[in-house]
Amino acid sequence: MQQNLFFPVYKQLEKELDELSYFITFDKKQLKTYSIKISELLLRTVSEIENISKELCKREKIKFYDKNKHIRKVVYFNDYFEKLEDLFLLSKKYVSFDLDNCNENIFDVKLVPFKKDKTYTLNGKTKSIWSWYYAYNKIKHDRVKFFRYANLECLIKALAALFLLNIYYLNKTFYSENSYDTDYILEKIEGFSKIFSVDYTMAISDDERISPNLKDTFFNPIEFFRIGRESSTYLLYSDYVIRTSSDEAADMLDKLEGSVHLFNSETHTLRKKYDNYQYTEHTTQCKLVAKLNREIDVQK
């Protein structure tokens, strides 16, 4: 199994942000606080964002072409993001900031780290960018002049963005095979981080209908779940078939069994044990499954 070179780095950055909260009071009035340590953490965090975005595109087998349909040698972060946005709708995903050692009202709403919240003018044209990425570029190229841009708010948003990308890179599916154990599933979803958490909702298909005994309630529960799909990183499915690690192992054993040869000691030849071995792909029916929300799921 290939070593994950990204999540341990994220966890270290998360630890350092937590430690920073013991030296800087994390509340709304302090969000524009800047320092050498914040600057250093921001540079490391956004550098990780660029790297993991590149690897995510590689894993999804995304290629980048120039106007002559040749593979591009130079690809920029914005190019990676556009492809990942198509797959995961990152600009709509909510991330909650749950750090214990901070004012609970530090942010009025949940973070949407990939929503472009900064406008600037370049060559007479108004452009939009993420505030944390704008700050990163400024201090990377001229730290002395733009030192104040490396503030606490940009750092928290950048780390939230890195957290979200790490969840998609980890690509975890959680399941409860024999019971509708929602607590177990939610514990897994919320277990990635001590300071951030993502949204999740039930996966509802377009042909779902409201039960007659719910018609007089003040909101449509199915529509409630459907609205939440877009901003949720995980979708929860009930009575769903998946391929577990055990299924994959069973498939491998089947293939090994089907390739067995027998040795004839008289003729000194080998022959297949089975002339027509039938392979069956193993799957598991689960009561509850949590899967990463991809844009293809949102459109179902």
d(CA 172, CA 94): 18
Tell me, yes or no, whether 1 lies in a domain: no
Contact predicate 167/292, CB 8 Å: yes
Tell me, yes or no, whether 2 lies in a domain: no
CB-neighbour burial class of residue 203 (10 A; exposed 0-12, middle 13-18, buried 19+): buried
Q: Are residues 186 and 256 in the same domain?
A: no
Q: Are residues 155 and 239 in the same domain?
A: no
Using the 3D structure, point to which of 139, 170, 201 is the last residue of a domain: 170
CB-neighbour burial class of residue 79 (10 A; exposed 0-12, middle 13-18, buried 19+): middle
Q: Are residues 197 and 160 in the same domain?
A: no
Q: How many residues does the chain have?
A: 300
Confidence at residue 245, expressed as pLDDT on a 0 to 100 scale:
86
d(CA 198, CA 231): 9
pTM above 0.75, yes or no: yes
Q: Are residues 166 and 183 in the same domain?
A: no
Tell me, yes or no, whether 185 lies in a domain: yes
Q: Are residues 26 and 97 in the same domain?
A: yes
Per-residue pLDDT of the chain (300 residues; tens, 9 = 90+): 678 999 999 999 999 999 999 999 999 999 999 999 999 999 999 999 999 999 999 999 999 999 888 999 899 999 999 999 999 999 999 999 999 999 878 999 999 999 999 999 888 889 999 999 999 999 999 999 999 999 999 999 999 999 999 999 999 999 999 999 999 999 999 999 999 999 999 998 755 554 545 445 555 566 767 788 999 999 999 999 999 988 889 888 888 888 888 888 888 889 888 888 888 899 999 999 999 999 755 443
Mark 40-75 as b/e (b = at least 16 C-beta within 10 Å).
Answer: ebbbbbbebbebbbeebbeeeebebeeeeeeeeeeb
Confidence at residue 183, expressed as pLDDT on a 0 to 100 scale:
95
Q: Are residues 31 and 162 in the same domain?
A: yes
Confidence at residue 214, expressed as pLDDT on a 0 to 100 scale:
46
Tell me, yes or no, whether 122 lies in a domain: yes
Tell me, yes or no, whether 250 lies in a domain: yes
* Residue-number span of the structural domain to which 195 is assigned: 176-243+284-298
Confidence at residue 220, expressed as pLDDT on a 0 to 100 scale:
59
Using the 3D structure, point to which of 146, 170, 194 is the last residue of a domain: 170
Q: Are residues 138 and 228 in the same domain?
A: no
Q: Are residues 41 and 55 in the same domain?
A: yes
Confidence at residue 121, expressed as pLDDT on a 0 to 100 scale:
87
Q: Are residues 163 and 209 in the same domain?
A: no
Q: Are residues 130 and 40 in the same domain?
A: yes
Tell me, yes or no, whether 139 lies in a domain: yes
Contact predicate 165/13, CB 8 Å: no
Q: Are residues 105 and 70 in the same domain?
A: yes
d(CA 41, CA 37): 6
